[in-house]
Amino acid sequence: MTKDLGIRGEAMALKKIMSLGYKILVQNFRCKLGEIDLIAIDQDTLVFIEVRSKSNGKYGLPQETVNTKKQRKLRQVAEFYLMKNNLYHMYCRFDVIGIVWQQGNELEIEIIKDAF
């Protein structure tokens, strides 16, 4: 159930950011250090995106689960991606997308640009 929710959430996040003009470079970038859900270009900025989904907001919002430890891990993976692709010249930011699925499959999406 949780994995399915995550997959559906990532698909919805992808659709949303594409509608906002982001150009998708990579989905689910993985390396020995970890994973980044989406890597995209927003105008002239390279954006590393973490997507979090919850079935409801009863115990807090999904974006609140991107804690200091997770942020550190995302930074490490992003640095590896930059090094691997020789992209140190690009301006970068980290966005977090929180998705809460309401009853009846309605959803609430919040995009936090430059989250950390």
Domains and CATH numbers, the chain: 2-112 (3.40.1350.10)
pLDDT of residue 61: 86
pLDDT tens, the chain, 116 aa long:
467 777 888 999 999 999 999 999 999 999 999 999 999 999 999 999 999 988 876 778 889 889 999 999 999 999 999 999 999 899 999 999 999 987 666 788 999 999 99
- Gap between the Cα atoms of 28 and 52, Å rounded: 13
What SS3 class is residue 69? helix
Give Cα separations from 66 to 78, 84, 85 (angstroms). Answer: 15, 25, 25
- What pLDDT is attached to residue 5? 75
Amino acid at 32: K
Q: What is the pLDDT of residue 6?
A: 78
